[in-house]
Structure 1
Amino acid sequence: MVKAKAFAAGTIVNALAALKGVAFALNLKTTVRFIPGKESDFENKALGCVAKKVFRSLKIDGKVKVESEIPRRGGLGSSSAVVNALICAAYKYLNKELEAHSILRANARISLECGMSYTGAFDDASASLLGGVVFSDNAKMKLFKRETLEGKVAVLIPDWERGNVDLRKIRERREEVERAFKLAMKGKIREAMYVNSYEYCQALNLPFEPVSIAYNLGLNAGLSGNGPSYVAFGENVKDVKSLWESFGKVILVDIVSVPAEKVKIENSLFIQT
């Protein structure tokens, strides 16, 4: 039996509209155990699809057991974390070096092929595996840069669910979301999250009120992924907890800036400027 883990991912800029995203790692973990053998059994169809593709490419077989602290369908990168952890566990079993770019490209490709993501979620996958804040080009499957971030993050898991994702509506907002990405690249994270969240809340028909409440406290805050979860971080982040509790469950977790596993971070992972 071999195991590996990956982290949850929170959103600064969602890559769906412009194929460029900014995400950061949260200390909510998914652990995958790989048990080699002939008999394969999977907890659900999506996991079965992922495992079969990983197993086929690496010429192995076995069982997969998943334990996760990350809410599913919450916009917190739960799918990216499962795929990362599964690939890492398989590599460990084969004594393959954990090369970050290889793992992340495989993650994006498999996520697309198994219908778990609209863009391959290279931003979420990178944050989930590498920790810190990542600035990604999802089309090129590369990073512009990776930075460290510290502190606590408040995560709102609201009483409402995610609605339908209408790609046409989202991509109509490309220009504003690209502006949010440029703001983030300049270090204006608070403004980037506000602009990004305003556009996505409109497109996904989700409430913007949790964002404005946290923003008015001086926090970096926004919708995470395609929702329904929201994230906030910054000084006095604990102050938002009582205000957000009227919307649903609120948890406080650490931001993570170290990799989930001992990965090799190659220069090829980054766009050379």
Structure 2
Amino acid sequence: MYGRAVALGAGTVLNALATETGSAFAIDAETTATVELDDSEGVTGSVAEDADADTRLIERCVELAIETYGDDAAVTGGTVRTESDVPMAAGLKSSSAAANAAVLAAADALGADPDPLEACRLGVRAAREVGVTVTGAFDDASASMLGGVTVTDNDADELLAHGDVSWDVLVWTPAERAYSADADVERCGNVAPMAELVADLALDGRYAEAMTVNGLAFSAALGFSADPAVEAMPHVAGVSLSGTGPSVVAVDGPGGEGLDRVQELWSERSGRTWRTTTRNDGARIL
């Protein structure tokens, strides 16, 4: 019983740590999961890019998929392997992409055709159960699963808005890593008034403006320099710290001429500066 699926990385419009309302947009960076199911005891996971990576999330995703979509008592375990061009622990939703891909690949192996949001919620549940997220990251997971941009209530795992965006995207990813589960939730709560403003902007469809306000507020709350964002602001439609960092993401309309100038500036910084685009098609079974 074999299945494969792919899900997308994403950038942040609104970090959900302050108010449980979050917003994210899918980018053209993919994680692929391959699942093989059998009658073995338990699920064993591996990550192509890091032999020592924590595999509890993808393993739990497959276990929950078996419980939800399986009807063969002989299917009790198997293997799951991910390979990805989404940097890990960089604020670009690598965990959400891996979870979505793992759930869909397991469903494929079981011959199921899952509802995307139901499958997304299984991955969010797994993330909470293994402790890799504070909020459950339904905002990140929904953008990764559905494509486009989403606004969500992460407390209720409810989709508040979903639409298409067509942006060119520039990402600066420094060498350091930041894990969502380690974020200072209490300090992020201090910027709740700004997060509420960002939510209003996002629900009004003003996503690029929303992400810029978000970036300034959460860079301060999470202890990251706002300098990369300030450098970018005169040239782009929106720029933000992505997730709990450390990546910074800038967006502009198709063609992205403003991004050319920002790329020059960010390339002087240590780390990796790279270009991509938004994606509106979402995750899929292969």
Q: Same fold (TM over 0.5)?
A: yes
**Once superposed, what is the RMSD of the aligned Cα atoms?**
2.0
Q: Is residue 42 of structure 1 aligned with residue 45 of structure 2?
A: yes
Following TM superposition, by how much is the alpha carbon of 1:188 offset from its aligned partner in structure 2, in angstroms?
2.4
Following TM superposition, by how much is the alpha carbon of 1:219 offset from its aligned partner in structure 2, in angstroms?
2.7
TM-score by length of 1: 0.90
DSSP 3-state at the match of 1:243 = helix
Q: What is the rounded CA distance, in whole Å, between the counterparts of 1:123 and 1:5 in structure 2? A: 18
Following TM superposition, by how much is the alpha carbon of 1:159 offset from its aligned partner in structure 2, in angstroms?
3.7
Following TM superposition, by how much is the alpha carbon of 1:82 offset from its aligned partner in structure 2, in angstroms?
0.6
* Greater than 4 Å deviation, 4+ residue runs: none
Indicate which of 96, 101, 105 corresponds to 1:89. Answer: 105
1:5 corresponds to: 6
Following TM superposition, by how much is the alpha carbon of 1:160 offset from its aligned partner in structure 2, in angstroms?
4.0
Letter in 2 for 1:214: A
Query: 1:139-197: CA deviations, max 9, x gaps?
Result: 11111111111132101102444385211100121111111111122222233112211
Q: What is the rounded CA distance, in whole Å, between the counterparts of 1:150 and 1:80 in structure 2? A: 21
Q: Does structure 2 conserve the Cα–Cα contact (< 8 Å) formed by 1:88 and 1:103? A: yes
Q: Is residue 198 of structure 1 aligned with residue 216 of structure 2?
A: yes
Following TM superposition, by how much is the alpha carbon of 1:16 offset from its aligned partner in structure 2, in angstroms?
1.1
Query: 1:41-70: CA deviations, max 9, x gaps?
Result: 323574235414532524541111110100
2:49 corresponds to: none
Following TM superposition, by how much is the alpha carbon of 1:74 offset from its aligned partner in structure 2, in angstroms?
0.4
Letter in 1 for 2:11: G
DSSP 3-state at the match of 1:256 = coil
Instruction: Report matched runs for 1:100-179 at 5 Å.
Output: 100-162=116-178, 165-179=183-197
1:254 corresponds to: 277
DSSP 3-state at the match of 1:207 = coil
Q: What is the rounded CA distance, in whole Å, between the counterparts of 1:173 and 1:148 in structure 2? A: 28
1:29 corresponds to: 30
DSSP 3-state at the match of 1:74 = coil
DSSP 3-state at the match of 1:199 = helix
TM-score by length of 2: 0.86
Q: Does structure 2 conserve the Cα–Cα contact (< 8 Å) formed by 1:46 and 1:114? A: no
Q: What is the rounded CA distance, in whole Å, between the counterparts of 2:20 and 2:228 in structure 1? A: 25
DSSP 3-state at the match of 2:90 = coil
Letter in 1 for 2:56: G
Letter in 2 for 1:14: N
Q: Does structure 1 conserve the Cα–Cα contact (< 8 Å) formed by 2:31 and 2:82? A: yes
Letter in 2 for 1:47: T
Following TM superposition, by how much is the alpha carbon of 1:28 offset from its aligned partner in structure 2, in angstroms?
0.5
Letter in 2 for 1:127: A
Q: What is the rounded CA distance, in whole Å, between the counterparts of 1:231 and 1:209 in structure 2? A: 13
DSSP 3-state at the match of 1:238 = helix
